[in-house]
Amino acid sequence: MSKPKVIVTRKWPIEVEAQLKSLYDVQLNESDTPMTADELKHALLTADALLPTVTDLITADILNIEGKRTKIIGNFGVGYNNIDINAAKSQGLVVTNTPHVLTDCTADIAMLLLLMSARRASEGERLLRNRQWTGWRPTHMLGQKVTGKTLGLIGFGRIAQAMAKKAHYGFGMKILFYAPSQPAQSIIDDLQATRCETVEELLIEANFVSLHCPGGDATRHLINEQRLKLMRPSAHLINTARGDVVDSKALIKALKEGWIAGAGLDVFEGEPNIDPDFLELDNVTLLPHLGSATEETRIAMGNRVLENIAAFFAGEEPGDRVA
């Protein structure tokens, strides 16, 4: 019996690629060059499973191509707003993601950005690298204290809860959160957290605001000019969720005009292209989408995809099915 044909859109950890080679008739992306829309369409025509990443835009136009061979899309990432889920459902395609395994590492990056923004770490390193540091002095590069401050989380899923735990138990931070659904009371009690009724209430109260909501039309520009103006002048905004949750132009204006003290961003609208005005600002920390970028996590994500497609090809329900 022939092996299922699998096409992988980007380069994956070598350990996972080795498993793919042993289990499937696999087409890997050795050059790690993003696939074009036409290449993605061809993949759907020729493979039993397509394994994209969160940066591969799988549109309705791509999914609606006639004569598809593909029956399952195993997305490498917990987010799946890169895929037109409604179109996938209408075409009878199964879609899976990779939750749970990247929780701690993404929460770590959120805390890293919070600390770097609060203590002006990126600005300080640039000063040293540019050979502009003239020595210690009492009023030089004063930032914001983190310990004991209030952290507001917009979205309160696994990653937000992991960040809250690190912030509360590691830095004695008070936890506020806004979420459409009510989490278990035991989680709230453990973190001594307070639920806010609105995003606005959280923005007004928090010293640090960290975004953990999904991307997509429902949350596009959730953080806009009006809401940024509600934040404290000493506050910092952290985004490890999706770039389009924040209106980039509004955030740049807020940082330039001092509505808030700083921001830490791991995701951007239209990445890898980012608004060049961000590069001119000292009070923003920029990372190239490193949330899950550890060896352990990326291997675990790949293995999660393997588990999902193995279940599907065995006639079983994939554990991480989202469509």
Tell whether 302 is covered by a domain: yes
Question: What does the alpha-carbon distance between residue 267 and residue 215 come to, in Å, rounded to a whole number?
Answer: 11
Shared-domain flag, residues 255 and 308: no
Q: What is the pLDDT of residue 200?
A: 98
pLDDT 10s digits, 269-322? 999 999 999 999 999 999 999 999 999 999 999 999 999 999 999 999 999 999
Q: What is the pLDDT of residue 233?
A: 98
SS3 223: strand
Reading the block at residue 316, the tokens are 């079983």
Shared-domain flag, residues 176 and 276: yes
Question: What does the alpha-carbon distance between residue 313 and residue 131 come to, in Å, rounded to a whole number?
Answer: 58
pLDDT 10s digits, 26-41? 999 999 999 999 999 9
Shared-domain flag, residues 210 and 96: no
Pick the closest to residue 81 from 213, 254, 211 (CA basis).
213
Q: How many residues in the chain?
A: 323
Pick the closest to residue 243 from 203, 208, 288, 202 (CA basis).
288
Shared-domain flag, residues 273 and 306: no
State which residues form the domain around 193. 103-286
Domain tally for the chain? 2
CB-based contact 96:305 (threshold 8 Å)? yes
Shared-domain flag, residues 34 and 170: no
pTM of the model: 0.95
Cα-trace Rg, the chain: 21
Task: Just list the catalytic residues.
Answer: 242, 271, 289
CB-based contact 45:67 (threshold 8 Å)? yes
Q: What is the pLDDT of residue 174?
A: 98
Q: What secondary structure letter does DSSP report for 209?
A: E
Q: What is the pLDDT of residue 308?
A: 98
pLDDT 10s digits, 86-96? 999 999 999 99
pLDDT 10s digits, 152-209? 999 999 999 999 999 999 999 999 999 999 999 999 999 999 999 999 999 999 999 9
Report the helix count and the strand count for the chain, using DSSP H and E: 12, 12
Mean pLDDT of 223-250: 98
